[in-house]
Amino acid sequence: QGMKEIRDLILYLSKTKNKTIFLSSHILREVEIIATRMIIISKGTTQVEGTVDELLNVDKMSVSLEVDRIDDAVIEIKNSKWAEVYKTSVKNEMQFDMLKSDVAELNRYLNDKDFMVGSVVPVRSLEDFFLKITEGGQK
């Protein structure tokens, strides 16, 4: 309850009173919900700066595909050009790290191989982005 009240207060001050709030937090989900702009600093150096939407809308992404006959689908993927972007499978979902522009082609590939793709879900959070940016202090 307390976190929601603080979140609502910050949003209220920002939107209705045109106030800038500087927020430093390790709870990145909260930052993702309330921030309009952000800077990620690692080891005293600015790594990235921009709106949350800009930072999360990059060309590369993680995507989860729900696929029937998952064991056969994994074998097919591992023996194809998609093996380099394949990450893992959990239950009936396959995880990939890939370019957004390639998602439709991967879906078509699986369909052409007679696999039923039930859903394609992008997996991207501020926490994922933060960890990727700050690993080794690289941009």
Q: Which of 7-11, 41-45, 63-67, 88-92 has the lowest mean pLDDT?
A: 41-45
Same domain, 35 and 88: no
Residue 136 is assigned to a structural domain of this protein: no
Residue 137 is assigned to a structural domain of this protein: no
Average pLDDT of the chain, as a whole number: 83
Same domain, 118 and 71: yes
pTM exceeds 0.75, yes or no: no
Number of structural domains (the chain) is: 2
Specify the pLDDT at position 115. Answer: 96
Band of pLDDT at residue 138, cut at 50, 70 and 90? very low
Tokens for 62? Answer: 């993680």
Q: Among 91, 89, 128, 94, which residue's Cα sits nearest to residue 109? A: 94
> Is the confidence at residue 19, as pLDDT, over 50?
yes
Of residues 136 and 41, more confidently modeled: 41
Residue 133 is assigned to a structural domain of this protein: no
Range of the domain at 95: 60-127
Q: Rounded distance, CA 111 to CA 27, Å?
A: 39
Specify the pLDDT at position 74. Answer: 95
